Structure 1
């Protein structure tokens, strides 16, 4: 077995070097009791400064982005709130309009029903009033057969003196009419009295060549009734035209 050679390992001595323009030169060994300072590296210091500057730039950008995001969130909230309010106002306005239209329609229908009802009632009231008047006048004519003398006097006053006039009266009242006409002052003409058995007390007729007129109570009440009903019908037609012209409200 060959013999193992003996090698002596010497410890390495610290020999720092300094880089200068003339080259690398060794530094003197540190004194005892002092710690050797590591030489400053300008390249490393520049890199650290750039890194710090980059960090500050990134922090500034992050702050700007956070501020922008916060502003965008606030604007989005404001926009959403405004849109929600506008939508609510639009729905409220639509609801109010719909309710107003419903109320208006109900009021118009009620007015139409009231007008129709009152129109029917007015016709009934007119008929009732004329019926009462007819009964009252019939009783008055029974008490006073010459009840129509005033109407006869007015009718005769509107005729010419040269007109031939015939006054038909109930046969039972002929003497009363003869006496009444004899005592009427300033009568422009005196009609020829004719007893008519078809006439009742409270009825009389005036006949001329131009035509005849019935001055009886029933005839006059009939004229009054037709006048009332014509007036009511015209008023209903005018009301219907106004309602049709106004049209439905939106």
Structure 2
């Protein structure tokens, strides 16, 4: 029984690792998409159109945000868009880099990250947008921030793969441990305290005396005489010999 404890622990540990990795991976994806990714934290500007937003210094995400009448199907087509950002009070312009992200869809609401802007200073910025957005419902550009962890889903996915890789050898180990012959118990000694039940009483031993031996011999002679094997004279001679020692 003890030989099977190790394999069972290995199998359980591998399964738990897989469960934690898979569950954590999907939970992290959901949190990154709907909690940590505040895609419209600083406001939105219609496409085409213009607007004025207060943007903090640092990195600002810019996403195309619209509504659809059906599902996104095999992919969401992003139209050709134009964007211009300039500070209202003058100063250096933000640096905008195209960074296409994955599509996030909730019911009929769809968004996909298009750009990341490096804002040089905290302040108010004038924004001009344009593009061929015919067929899209209420299209706009959303400005926000993303505090999600990019490495955590990969780490949890690696944890799932590690658990999956460890499950196979654990199952092999467990199957071999189940077929391993168990050692037989050694011979039971009556002197051991583990013997079940009370111990039998010891057998008494005695040494026969000379008188007892003579009596047995005389009984044998009498039986031979009665059976006719000995004559009366032979019986008397043998009895005298036994009695004389």
Normalization by structure 2: what TM-score?
A: 0.30
Higher-strand-fraction structure: 2
Higher-helix-fraction structure: 1
Normalization by structure 1: what TM-score?
A: 0.29
